[in-house]
Structure 1
Amino acid sequence: MLGFTHLTFALFLEGNTSLPDIALVSFGSLFPDIDTFGILSRAMKSRGRNLKHRGILHTPFIYCVIFGVYYLMFRNFGIMPFIVGTFSHIFLDFTTVEGIPILYPITSRRFHIIGFKTGGMVDISMSFFFLFFFILRLFKFI
């Protein structure tokens, strides 16, 4: 899915319209793709390593471990919007033809359901659908 679709879907799911929640869910919705842009990607490439897109950062296991450790350390779910954003991203990529390694670390084989094409008509249509309903919620029409 496109980044815009990930963002609008997470905003649609979050429900809260407070600025901190919007910021956390937005960051979480794009976080699994951090391997494709920014400082992390450049740093890994400069060291001769390349994070494979839709690799470890697209598997539910790694986030369950991270969020579990976070909960054990802080005993709260103050980052729940970030969690919603991250798992919404993983879910949407699970619906694409490319799929995700949902059973990692057991296997790196990618699985998918439905089989939407990234950047296709369904992807773009969904992003505007989610944006429309988020705006309705933001301005308290629903």
Structure 2
Amino acid sequence: MRYHSHIVTSLLMGAAVASQTPLSFTASYTAGIVIGSLLPDIDEPNSYVGRRSFGVSGKVKEAFGHRGMTHSLLVWAVIALVVTFESSSLFSIGFVLGYLFHIMEDFFSVQGVPLLWPFQTKRYKIPLYRTGSFSETMIFYLAFSLLIYVGMKYELFTEWLQSISGFVH
């Protein structure tokens, strides 16, 4: 999935979570989701985050391959424990959720993800799209439309704007 599709689909899932839980859809929460949704692709030098990683991405890909370690539920769990142990801020929660959403989104690609790495290298998948395909484009637009709908229905954008009002004044 391309970076913009990861961002929009992750924001949609984050909005759905916020609309059904006490979590607030703030700028901090959404920033965490966006960054978390991009980080698993640190294992691909040509990805959005990989091109900005100062060479780290190439080393990760060399050691573990693309959609390897960084797309594992074990690695996500370790990151979740470390991040939430250090901070329970909305940014941290958004980051952990965004990372998980990325793995879930790639689960639906034809390449799949090694959910049980390092215990298994098998890639699990329900192949609904190929990266860069028409079906991914349709997923992007559907997710964008649903994000607008959920945001309006649950007044999440008002909540988001209120969270940044302190920065504007």
Q: TM-score, normalised by structure 1?
A: 0.82
**CA–CA separation in structure 2 for the residues paired with 1:117 and 1:90:** 15
Please name the residue that 2:4 is paired with.
4
Name which of 117, 123, 133 aligns with 1:120.
Answer: 133
**Structure 1 alignment gaps of length 5 or more:** none
Aligned pair partner of 2:28 in 20, 23, 41: 20
Aligned residue number for residue 111 of structure 2:
98
Deviation, structure 1 residue 117: 1.7
Correspondence for 1:61: 74
> Matches of 1:44 and 1:83 in 2, distance apart?
20
Structure 1 or 2: more helix by fraction: 2
Aligned residue identity for 1:27? I
Whichever residue aligns with residue 6 of structure 1, its letter is: H
Does structure 2 retain, via aligned residues, the 8 Å contact 1:96–1:112? yes
Q: Is 1:38 the counterpart of 2:80 in the alignment?
A: no
Unaligned runs of 5+ in 2: 16-23, 45-49, 155-169
1:40, distance to aligned residue in structure 2 (A): 3.7
Number of equivalenced pairs:
140
Segments ≥4 residues shifted beyond 6 Å = none
Q: CA deviation at 1:102?
A: 1.0
RMSD: 2.6
SS in 2 for 1:104: coil
Alignment identity in percent? 25
Among 87, 96, 103, which residue is 2:100 paired with? 87
How far apart, in 2, do the equivalents of 1:23 and 1:76 lie?
15
TM-score computed with the length of structure 2 as normaliser: 0.70
C-alpha displacement at 1:35, in angstroms? 2.0
- C-alpha contact 2:36 2:94 (8 A) present in aligned 1: yes
Measure the CA separation in 1 of the matches of 2:89 and 2:27.
Answer: 17
Distance 1:131 1:44, change over 3 A: closer
- How big is the shift at 1:107? 1.6
Instruction: Work out the CA distance in 2 between the residues paired with 1:41 and 1:55.
Output: 20
